[in-house]
Amino acid sequence: MGMIRSMTGWPGPSGFGSATTAEQVTAGIDASDLTVVITGGASGIGLETSRVLALRGAHVIIATRNMEAANEAKQSILKSNENAKIDVIQLDLSSLKSVKAFADNFIALNLPLNILINNAGIMFCPYQLSQDGIEMQFATNHLGHFYLTNLLLDKMKDTASSTGIEGRIINLSSVAHIHTYEEGVKFDSINDKNSYSDKRAYGQSKLANILHANELSRRLKEEGVNITVNSVHPGFIMTNLMKHSLNLMRILRMFSYILWKNVPQGAATTCYIAMHPNLKGVSGKYYADCNEWPASDFTKDPKLAKKLWDFSNHLLDSVIRRS
């Protein structure tokens, strides 16, 4: 039934579906009291998410590696919405030093933080290590966001406590989390070049996004913190994310065009999870087409989520000690 809805655009239980746009899911919502950090908010569905949240009144902080592109994105948003509140801060998720600098720079602004959208990512890139010595897709898509979330979490807790407004964290994952390595996450050989598969490494990092969201959600529930954490599959959208596999994606699109979305549709599920009142108190879920969606068996394994949490913290500690 879910696949039929995706192909036809029929709405699901939420009242929205694959054909819904980001503006439609946020219609009538006043976000003027909210501050949002979004990684990769200067291009693709990240830019559309930034634009729509700013349109609803939110103060949007675009965290981006390419400052020139981000400033151009900021001007394009301001051109259509002169009242938009947009700031840009540099962030390279593949560098833990850069992640720490971003967090320090954001906290120095003395702003609240209501919503964190871990949106940025890379896809199907050839084997390479980050400057911290970690396989690049795992480093960028998972570990950088894991560290960023850790560094901003106290600010989010303080904001939720002082304002009474529920905080929300959204991890952008992908249906590709199903296509990972046999063991789910290669804890013992995360950097192994010989067994590297660009597709499975991407799936591993997207599985990690969901496991991170689920474990963080569990911990925040135990603490009684007013912050939800959910993960999202935005859908199939032709963006710069696919630059390493553009020809393959074009061929796949020819045979599955009915499943593909445009950018406004691709940003809809993120904006729905970030702002819609129907999601109040909902945490630890996986969404696609603005509706809860079944994820792989790996994502339902709390021991795997806990193991990834500990593994990620160990990686962070080892890199920070070397710095």
For residue 188, the model assigns a pLDDT of 96
pLDDT tens per residue across span 122-172? 999 999 999 999 999 999 999 999 999 999 999 999 999 999 999 999 999
**Residue 196 bears catalytic tag:** yes
For residue 1, the model assigns a pLDDT of 44
* DSSP element (H, E) containing 212: helix 198-223
Q: Kindly name the residue from 127, 181, 196, 287 that is annotated as catalytic.
A: 196
Strand partners, 116: 37, 169
Q: Would you say residue 4 has pLDDT above 90? A: no
Q: How many CA atoms lie within 13 A of 197 on its CB side?
A: 10
Instruction: Point out the least confidently predicted range of 1-5, 59-63, 105-109, 183-187.
Output: 1-5
For residue 10, the model assigns a pLDDT of 77
Strands of 291-292's sheet in order across: 85-90, 59-64, 35-39, 115-118, 167-172, 227-233, 286-288, 291-292
Q: Is the pTM of this model over 0.85?
A: yes
For domain 2-322, is the CATH number 3.40.50.720? yes
Distance, in Å, from the CA atom of 287 to the CA atom of 272, rounded to the nearest integer, reads 10
DSSP state of 30: -
Task: Provide the residue ranges of all domains of the chain, joining segments of one domain with +.
Answer: 2-322
Q: How confident is the model at residue 237 (pLDDT cuts 50, 70, 90)?
A: confident
